[in-house]
């Protein structure tokens, strides 16, 4: 339960949010033509006769798009409709040469599903289930460009006919944070599935944000829909701004009109675009050029079998089978690339130490989330650009695990690895960082330290136990940091007893 409230002049208001997310399906070709879909091409270089709506052209469904929509539906535990159908949604716009968009109003391919979001990344109990009403498949439109020339507008049809999934949530969210968490989680799932790259800055994923306000416990109020919001941060800002605007309007005696709005990030405000149109305004009807989509069980099962381990399952496995903290499990599964990197690191480290993964997983998780992430952060790099490979990281962890080098030496080795790209073993040799596990040498160093600090030894024996750390530090210093810390501790304890 969210306790997010807008404090108005006349009392508290609750916010109700539903998101319609357009996610571009990751495929080589468009939904009904063979034209390419790659981002960033020169305008109008990826347009087939079908996409340009030349008379007499016929759409041919790209089964890969259907497959990706079904896989996505299965990933959110949704009902898969084995019979679905495409409809024409008729409207005029300069970037829509067909004069209609092919979509699925009455019989979407995916029905009811849900995803679970975690609202506080440190608290695994802070979860909430957000319902998903449907996913349907539809065509994208082209793009108008008004800023190239003072008196002319241009149209780029590269996006025309690109396959989209429209993922429609239930009005289950109650705060900007919940809307943000939902969109992030949805993006994570799509990336795991591989059905959408989730790149919001390239327009591969954008959200229509439906917002209304009500007195807590009252029926839903009238909503507005802010279109094409292209980042998680902006979605959260839209919810906040729109809710505040509606509260002010209602408290002023006004009424919220159901309308479509636009978000202006520069001014952080939403503006009215047009009044809300109804389904009947579009004269929807079944597309006569397309047969219904009929799926058999074998196809659905093939889609299910092709799914990777999904984020919730992976996170659970990291906590239970690998013994990671809830926080680390969350961080390492938030992006599919991060989990792949971690799993490669873990495999390499375990193999080089000849130990089961469960025994070395915590060490690997801690090193990756604190040491490597920290170091990469300083370099302004992401994991994808890491100069250190998972295999090299595994080798470094094995050197620590086997006691060849100390934890503090490992930090130095990592720095050198990032600088030079050399293997950790080579660096340890060259820099002489091998730690001493020779008890004779350690005992000699401890004896010297205790002899030189007889006064402190007396204080320690008199009960000042905090001095133990001092003796450890002095011994390590005497050994130029190369003493095996565990052995140093043991020897000191024995000699001071």
Say whether residue 259 binds ligand ADP (CB under 6 A). Answer: no
- The tokens of 291 are what? 């047969």
Say whether residue 241 binds ligand ADP (CB under 6 A). Answer: no
Count Cβ atoms within 10 A of the Cβ of residue 36 and give its class: 0-12 exposed, 13-18 middle, 19 or more buried: middle
**Gyration radius from the chain CA atoms:** 30
* Diameter over CA atoms, the chain: 99
Q: Which of 103, 188, 212, 328 binds ligand ADP (CB under 6 A)?
A: 212
Q: Whose structure tokens read 């001095």?
A: 467
Q: Which is nearer to ligand ADP, 79 or 377 (CB)?
A: 79
Q: Which of 255, 357, 300 is nearest to 83 (CA)?
A: 300
Q: What is the smallest separation between the CB atom of 90 and ligand ADP, expressed in angstroms?
A: 16
How many angstroms separate the CA atoms of 229 and 306, rounded? Answer: 31
Say whether residue 111 binds ligand ADP (CB under 6 A). Answer: no
Q: Which is nearer to ligand ADP, 17 or 237 (CB)?
A: 17
Say whether residue 103 binds ligand ADP (CB under 6 A). Answer: no
Find the binding residues for ligand ADP in span 141-200 (CB under 6 A): 168-171
Say whether residue 108 binds ligand ADP (CB under 6 A). Answer: no
Q: Which is nearer to ligand ADP, 200 or 239 (CB)?
A: 239
How many angstroms separate the CA atoms of 93 and 488, rounded? Answer: 77
Strands across the sheet containing 87-90: 100-103, 87-90, 285-286
Q: Which of 16, 76, 163, 350 binds ligand ADP (CB under 6 A)?
A: 16
Say whether residue 91 binds ligand ADP (CB under 6 A). Answer: no
Say whether residue 98 binds ligand ADP (CB under 6 A). Answer: no
Q: What is the smallest separation between the CB atom of 361 and ligand ADP, expressed in angstroms?
A: 39
Q: Which is nearer to ligand ADP, 136 or 352 (CB)?
A: 136
Say whether residue 19 binds ligand ADP (CB under 6 A). Answer: yes
How many angstroms separate the CA atoms of 266 and 334, rounded? Answer: 29
Q: Which of 83, 91, 93, 220 binds ligand ADP (CB under 6 A)?
A: 220
Say whether residue 475 binds ligand ADP (CB under 6 A). Answer: no
- The tokens of 419 are what? 């600088």
Question: Residue with the closest Cβ to ligand ADP?
Answer: 18
10 Å Cβ neighbour count for 258?
14
Between CA 84 and CA 96, with CA 90 as vertex, the angle to 5 degrees is 105
Q: Whose structure tokens read 């100390």?
A: 406
Q: Which of 22, 185, 223, 482 binds ligand ADP (CB under 6 A)?
A: 223
Q: Which is nearer to ligand ADP, 168 or 446 (CB)?
A: 168
How many angstroms separate the CA atoms of 136 and 127, rounded? Answer: 27
Say whether residue 243 binds ligand ADP (CB under 6 A). Answer: no
How many angstroms separate the CA atoms of 39 and 202, rounded? Answer: 8
Q: Which residues pair with 33 in a beta bridge?
A: none
Q: How many residues bind ligand ADP (CB under 6 A)?
A: 14
Say whether residue 238 binds ligand ADP (CB under 6 A). Answer: no
Q: What is the smallest separation between the CB atom of 172 and ligand ADP, expressed in angstroms?
A: 7
Say whether residue 72 binds ligand ADP (CB under 6 A). Answer: no
- The tokens of 248 are what? 């002010």
Q: Which of 139, 158, 210, 270 binds ligand ADP (CB under 6 A)?
A: 210
To 10 degrees, the CA torsion angle through 442, 446, 449, 454?
A: -170
Q: Which of 2, 5, 6, 20 binds ligand ADP (CB under 6 A)?
A: 20
Q: Which residues bind ligand ADP (CB under 6 A)?
A: 16-20, 168-171, 210-212, 220, 223
């Amino acid at each position: 339960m969210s306790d997010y409230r807008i404090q108005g002049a006349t009392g508290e208001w609750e916010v109700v949010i539903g998101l319609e997310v357009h996610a571009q399906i990751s495929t080589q070709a468009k939904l009904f033509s063979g034209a390419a879909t790659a981002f960033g091409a020169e305008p109008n270089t990826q347009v087939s006769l079908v996409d340009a709506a030349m008379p007499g052209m016929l759409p041919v469904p790209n089964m890969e798009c259907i497959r990706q929509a079904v896989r996505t539906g299965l990933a959110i535990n949704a009902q898969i409709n084995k019979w679905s159908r495409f409809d024409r949604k008729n409207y005029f716009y300069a970037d829509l040469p067909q004069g209609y968009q092919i979509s699925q109003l009455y019989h979407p391919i995916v029905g009811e599903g849900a995803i679970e979001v975690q609202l506080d990344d440190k608290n695994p109990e802070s979860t909430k289930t957000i319902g998903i009403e449907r996913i349907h498949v539809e065509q994208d439109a082209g793009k108008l460009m008004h800023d190239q020339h003072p008196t002319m507008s241009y149209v780029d049809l590269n996006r025309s006919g690109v396959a989209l999934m429209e993922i429609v949530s239930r009005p289950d969210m109650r705060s900007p944070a919940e809307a943000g968490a939902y969109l992030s989680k949805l993006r994570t799932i799509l990336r795991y599935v591989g059905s959408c790259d989730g790149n919001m800055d390239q327009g591969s994923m954008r959200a229509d944000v439906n917002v209304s306000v009500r007195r807590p416990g009252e029926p839903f109020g009238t909503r507005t829909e802010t279109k094409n919001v292209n980042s998680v941060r902006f979605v959260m800002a839209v919810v906040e701004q729109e809710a505040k605007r509606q509260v002010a309007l209602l408290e002023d005696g006004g009424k919220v009109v159901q309308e479509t709005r636009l978000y202006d990030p520069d001014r952080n405000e939403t503006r009215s675009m047009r009044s809300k149109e109804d389904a009947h305004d579009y004269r929807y009807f079944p597309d006569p050029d397309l047969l219904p989509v009929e799926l058999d069980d074998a196809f659905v099962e093939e889609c299910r079998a092709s799914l990777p381990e999904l984020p919730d399952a992976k996170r659970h496995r990291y906590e239970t089978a690998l013994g990671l903290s809830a926080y680390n499990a969350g961080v390492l599964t938030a992006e599919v690339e991060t989990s792949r990197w971690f799993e490669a690191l873990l495999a390499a480290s375990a193999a080089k130490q000849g130990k089961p993964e469960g025994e070395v997983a915590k060490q690997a998780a801690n090193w990756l989330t604190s040491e490597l992430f920290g170091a990469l952060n300083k370099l302004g790099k992401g994991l994808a650009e890491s100069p250190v490979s998972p295999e090299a990281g595994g080798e470094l962890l094995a050197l620590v695990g086997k006691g060849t080098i100390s934890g503090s030496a490992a930090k130095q080795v990592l720095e050198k690895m990032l600088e030079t790209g050399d293997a950790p073993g080579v660096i340890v040799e060259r820099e002489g960082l091998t730690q001493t596990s020779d008890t004779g040498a350690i005992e000699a160093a401890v004896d010297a330290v205790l002899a030189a600090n007889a006064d402190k030894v007396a204080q320690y024996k008199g009960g000042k136990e905090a001095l133990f750390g001092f003796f450890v530090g002095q011994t390590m210093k005497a050994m130029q940091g190369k003493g095996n810390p565990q052995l140093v501790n043991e020897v000191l304890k024995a000699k001071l007893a």
